[in-house]
Structure 1
Amino acid sequence: MVETTHPGNIGATARVMANMGLTQLCLVSPRSFPDPAATARATGADDILEQAKVFDSLEEAVSDCGCVIGATARRRSLAWPLLDAEQAAARLVVEQQVTNCALIFGPEACGLSNAHLDLCHAHLRIDVNEAFPSLNVATAVAVMAYEFRKQSGLGALESAVQSAEEETPMTMGEFDQLMTHMEIVLSKTAFLSGPKTKLLRKIRRLLLQGVKSTQEVNILRGVLTSLEYALGVSDKQPQKRAQRGVQNTAKNSAKNNSTTPT
């Protein structure tokens, strides 16, 4: 939950999470937490409130996540993969087998900003009455928690899980480092000579849909390092990032992963 203004909504969210068997609640810059109103609305789900993690930024909160889905009630000018509640839950069921996942809900008054949504692999839009589309944030969490619980019982998309296990899923922290590296390199060329914010958002969207693993991040960063060397803007010899990433991955054991409302 990002920048939640009413502590009662945090408590109500904790309650529905407990109802549906979810335990990991993350809060980004809440206006007031801990708060008696949150405890009152939790109605016994105190353990979820006590274990909730608080972050200063969404970037920090999702840095170790390989699948991030952000809820939005509005249609955005820049097209992004858009899922309904059932599709989002099915994707989370699959992805949580191999990586940490986060489902993001924004402030009550305005929802997630474009900057927040740019951190997501896909956007979620719950199907509601178009004449009155704004859901209370705790209600939206309840809808998705129920869908996730229902989908989890189906063992959906086992073949996709098996495929995903072959490589280490990319985290958002690794992806942000890739984007920073790419912006630095492109700024040395004529490609980013004009206004760049919208173009970089489009590049980010493109890469988020194609780059899935740490190994793929290492390949692209190796390409960028080679370009820096060829352009003469770096004396650093290119290294075999991709090969090193595969070797490191072979040493890693499977981790326990979870889906976290944030």
Structure 2
Amino acid sequence: MLDRIRIVLIGTSHPGNIGAATRAMRNMGLEDLALVTPRCNPKDLEAYSRASGATTLVDSARQFDALEDAVADCTLVVGASARSRHLPWPMVGPRDLAESLPKALEPAEARVALVFGREDTGLTNAELQRCHQHVHIPTNPDFSSLNLAAAVQVLAYECRQAFLALEDASSSATSAPEREVDQPFGVTWDNPPATHADLERFFVHLEQTLTAIEFHDPDNPRQLMARLRRLFMRAHLDSMEMNILRGILGTIDKRLRDKS
């Protein structure tokens, strides 16, 4: 489970925070780190110093030019945010998030990304809208600013607790009489979840088609695409459902071309 959870840091400005984040990850058994447009040298001596032995994670961290590239293969993307901005988005606490991960990671192809923003400004609205849900760490409202590595530590800890609970449950199930295993919606699901890359291609196609039928005006968007993002992100589409939706859009596009 833990090997399929990715920590994504966007626009990190201090190499020490990258090093401290890798230490927090290694403490809790997480090893997949992605850096999006870091504003510092991720392999600065300060990063290695603050890693305190987790230097292999500093060395193996992958760098990306955009969030979409860093999470393209992920099936659940969760953004760390102090609050929902402008448009309310599904929000969970760290423990609720962690407890949902075993089910989210049931398909072998599933990958989860936990996304953290810049030390000074956090995640942008556009970045938050590329997440299925947001996670909020309930800090003291009188002193709510949380260091980047500390935020990574909190979520990594909760992930590890969920992993240990899953191991305990598996051990108990092995020794207990055989029983029916709970499945999502009471059945084994028939298709893997759609990846983030699939979703992004769908949203591009959807906007193009809605613009072509004059339902969407790019010059006066009125948060239409943001609300549609929220709707489809909340649905957690599987790969077959995604193919059906893309097929519908493709058929609409063809009819429009035929009429013209």
Say yes or no: TM over 0.5: yes
Q: Which moved more, 1:87-96 or 1:149-158?
A: 149-158
2:225 to 200, 215, 238: 200
Who is 2:5 aligned against? none
- TM-score (norm: length of structure 2): 0.85
Aligned to 1:78: 87
Give the letter for the 2:230 counterpart. Answer: R
Alignment-mate amino acid for residue 27 of structure 2? N
1:184 partnered with 2:204? no
Report the counterpart of residue 36 of structure 2 in structure 1.
Answer: 28
Identify the residue that residue 170 of structure 1 maps to in structure 2: 194
Question: What residue is the counterpart of 1:69 in the other structure?
Answer: 78
Q: How many residues align?
A: 235
Alignment match, 2:57:
48
Q: Determine what percentage of the aligned residue pairs are the same residue.
A: 39
Q: Aligned pair in 2 of structure 1 residues 22, 74: CA closer, same or farther (>3 Å)?
A: same
Tell me the TM-score normalized by structure 1. 0.84
Q: Tell me the CA shift for residue 196 of structure 1.
A: 1.5
**Superposition pairs of residues 207-218 of structure 1, within 5 angstroms:** 207-218=232-243
Provide the residue aligned with 1:4 in structure 2.
12
1:17 equivalent to 2:25? Answer yes
The question of 1:219 aligning with 2:227 is answered no
Stretch of structure 1 that moved more, 7-16 or 223-232: 223-232
SS in 1 for 2:10: coil
Q: Does 1:125 align with 2:133?
A: no
Q: 1:49 to 1:162 in 2, by over 3 A?
A: farther
- Mapped partners of 1:80, 1:101: distance in 2: 18
Q: Which whole-Å CA distance do the structure 2 matches of 1:75 and 1:233 have between them?
A: 43
Higher relative contact order (CA 8 A, sep 6+): 1
* Displacement of 1:234: 8.4
SS of equivalent residue, structure 1 residue 54: strand
Which aligned segments of 4 or more residues in structure 1 are displaced greater than 3 angstroms?
160-165
Q: Pick one of 108, 123, 126 that aligns with 1:115.
A: 126
State the one-letter code of the partner of 1:105: F
Q: Could you report, residue by residue, the CA deviation over 1:191-215 in whole angstroms, capped at 9, with x for unpaired residues?
A: 1135116111111111111242111
**Cα pair 1:13 1:138 within 8 Å, conserved:** yes
User: Secondary structure, in 3 states, of the residue corresponding to 2:24?
Assistant: helix
Equivalents in 1 of 2:142, 2:65: separation in Å?
A: 35
Which consecutive unaligned segments of at least 5 residues does structure 1 have? 236-262
Question: Is the CA contact 1:94–1:158 (under 8 Å) kept in the aligned structure 2?
Answer: no
Match of 1:255 in 2: none
In structure 2, the CA distance between the partners of 1:139 and 1:149, relative to structure 1 (3 Å rule), is same
Q: Which runs of 5+ in 2 are unaligned?
A: 1-8, 170-180
Shift of 1:41: 0.1
Measured against aligned partners, the alpha-carbon deviations of 1:142-192 in whole angstroms (never above 9, x if no partner) come to 001110100112228953398575311100100011111111111112211
> Match of 1:229, as an amino acid?
K
